Amino acid sequence: MPPFRRIHKAPEPSGSRLIDPPIQPSVDAPVGSIEALVDNNRLLRAAFDTRIGDLKLWELIAATRREVLTVAAEYTLSYRDAERPKDVADWIARPIIMGGHQPEFFHPGVWLKNSALDAYARAVNGTAINLIVDTDRCVGTTVRVPVGTPREAHLEEVAFDAPAVEMAWEERGIVDRDVFASFGQRVCDLLAPLEPNPILRRWWPLAVERSAECPRLGLALAQARHALEARLGWETLELPVSEMVRLPTVMVFMGWLLAHCRQFHEAYNDSLAAFRRGHKVRGRGRPMPDLAIRVDNSAEGPWFELPWWIWSRDDPRRRRVFANTDTPGMLTLSDMETLRVELPIAPETSPSKWVDALSRMEEHALRLRPRAIVTTMVARLLVADVFVHGIGGAAYDQLTDDIVRRLTGCDPPRHAVVSGTLRLPTDSLFPEWAKADPAAELATLHRELRDLEFHPECHLWPFDAQPEDVRDLITQKQRWIDTHPTATLARRRCREIRAANERMQFHTQELRQRLLARVGPLATAQRAKKLLHSREFPWCFFPEKALKTFLLLENG
């Protein structure tokens, strides 16, 4: 097994980008290109001799690419213009560049992936597809907005919808349309002192418009963003993961994984163990917990946890999935709470039965949705010539690589990594504040306070101008400092020096109060500086010009 690759790090300067491989080779990055990665991945995929049921892998890949391209084009055309070539065979043969993210308020470094998808696809005359990971959970419906002045900035939670029970994005509707409609203006008003013209002003009317046509919260947000990307000139397709996993070819692959659930369970946990050894990770829950094994009190054999989620329309809470293979020719799935379903899925049953069984679950409003590793496994093995990850996904997908090797004995296609850092342009709006360094000022202030505590005589008037009792204290302290700390005198010497300091501090109280009065404002300014320096603010908080430059749409 090859060693785990180095984990990428986010670039630090604002406006900097990490694009690996580069879109076009340059003097700064002459090695590697997207064309070379596409060619290499096609060779790796051609080496797969794995059979999925009664299909060879390359047969399943061709059919899956056709289905994904067709459904992604239909989905995208439902709300914006998109290219759909007439020559379908040529379309399928062209490279597919794919990425994905949750339909949430992500930062500009994540949005850079979408720009890179478009640029990569243009470079290889291919098709770019962005997966909307609506199978992930909608944790909350508020956004943290920086408010106030640069010196006293703080965060305020602003709701874009009313709260509801935690559920997957694909199940989450819009609860309060008034809150949703007013979100854009409320945030723009709060942002105005720090950023007067965010692209949110242009984007949110599109979100309100799409919410009238699409009742699902996550898809309304994603479709509005995608419509804005069309105006920026990006020619990408989009597809929700909840739609992709309903495709028959994808169900065949998922059925194959489920049919070999014990091997999959073992490969998953072994890969996690190898990852922890390779990266010297001690915590058993990092980067994610092992898949569990449960044994109940019945005569049934063990239940193996699998990297899927399960829920029902009546109870949309995502729950873990456990599988039992005691019944020959059958697979029993359960959340170990209320849901239990028997499926004719086993290595000896045909793929058509796998698809029928998984389709019936959908018809009965039962949702079986893959976790992140299975989602990217489907995308990288069956669809994409290159999958584009962010930094976190690239780190975790080293597990996917190892799992694929353990299950198939073959090396999986390689992925690209794209991320970047963009900070709010407060420095250009407030140049004087940009020069300020409250952290350094606060450190200097703490040194002065410490010096005032241990060397108060240095902060008093000249010795000759001091009252007699103060001169006596200074003289007494200096005499004890000059005394050699023998074993018998060391403790008394320390007490006498400390006592002199404490008595002299009475005469430095005014200076001490002046210094302490500066601590609070400087600490507040330091927190504000750190807050405004964050790279995690949503992309829609930034001005359009700064975003276009960052997203490679202007100035090269």
Q: Taking Cα atoms as reference points, which of 379, 400, 374, 408 lies closest to residue 48? A: 408
Residue 464, pLDDT above cutoff 80: no
The pLDDT score that the predictor gives to residue 462 is 80
The reported pLDDT for the residue numbered 554 is: 57
Q: What CA–CA distance (Å, rounded) separates 361 from 367?
A: 7
Q: Identify whether the C-beta of residue 142 lies closer than 8 Å to the C-beta of residue 160.
A: yes
Q: Please give the helix or strand (H or E) that residue 362 lies within, else none.
A: helix 351-363
Domain ranges of the chain: 16-135+218-250+373-425+538-550, 142-203, 277-369, 431-532
374 band by pLDDT with thresholds 50, 70 and 90:
very high
Tell me the C-alpha distance between 481 and 479, whole Å: 5
- According to the model, what pLDDT value does residue 286 have? 85
- Least-confidence region, from 101-115, 227-241, 426-440, 527-541: 426-440
The pLDDT value recorded for residue 536 is 96
> What does the pLDDT read at residue 194?
94
41-76 pLDDT per residue, tens: 999 998 888 899 888 888 999 999 999 999 999 999
Does the pLDDT value for residue 138 go beyond 90?
yes
Q: Which has more confidence, 43 or 554? A: 43
The pLDDT tens digits of the residues spanning 166-186 come to: 999 999 999 999 999 999 999
Average pLDDT, the chain: 92
Nearest one of 179, 227, 176 to 202, comparing CA atoms = 227
pLDDT digit string, tens, across residues 87-124:
999 999 999 999 999 999 999 999 999 999 999 999 99
Mean predicted confidence (pLDDT) in 402-410: 93
**Does residue 556 surpass a pLDDT of 80?**
no
Across 32-36, 292-296, 365-369, 466-470, which has the greatest mean pLDDT?
Answer: 365-369
Is the Cα torsion angle 134, 137, 140, 144 positive or negative in sign? Answer: negative
What tens digit of pLDDT does each residue of 327-360 get? Answer: 999 999 999 999 999 999 999 999 999 999 999 9
What Cα–Cα distance (Å) separates residue 438 from each residue in 231, 432, 470, 528, 550? 41, 12, 35, 10, 28
One-letter-per-residue 3-state SS of 262-313? HHHHHHHHHHHHHHHHHHCCCCCCCCCCCCCEECCCCCCCCEEEEEEEEEEC
Closest among 64, 107, 212, 173 to 534, alpha carbons compared: 107
Of the candidates 427, 434, 422, 430, the residue with the CA atom closest to the CA atom of residue 538: 422
Q: What is the pLDDT of residue 54?
A: 83
* Helices and strands in the chain: count of H runs, count of E runs: 20, 18
- In the chain, the percentage of residues whose pLDDT exceeds 90 is 75
SS3 97: strand
Contact in structure between 68 and 247 (CB atoms under 8 Å): yes
Task: Indicate the DSSP class of residue 547.
Answer: H
Residue 31's pLDDT band (cuts 50, 70, 90): low
State whether the Cα torsion 213-219-220-226 is positive or negative: negative
The whole-model pTM stands at: 0.89
State mean pLDDT over 194-208: 97
Domain 16-135+218-250+373-425+538-550 has CATH 3.40.50.620: yes
The predicted structure's pLDDT at residue 555: 42
- Is 249's pLDDT higher than 90? yes
Q: At what angle do helices 261-279 and 248-259 cross, to 10 degrees?
A: 80
Distance CA(271)–CA(56), nearest Å, equals: 25
* 78-84: average pLDDT: 92
pLDDT band at 156 (very low <50, low <70, confident <90, very high): very high
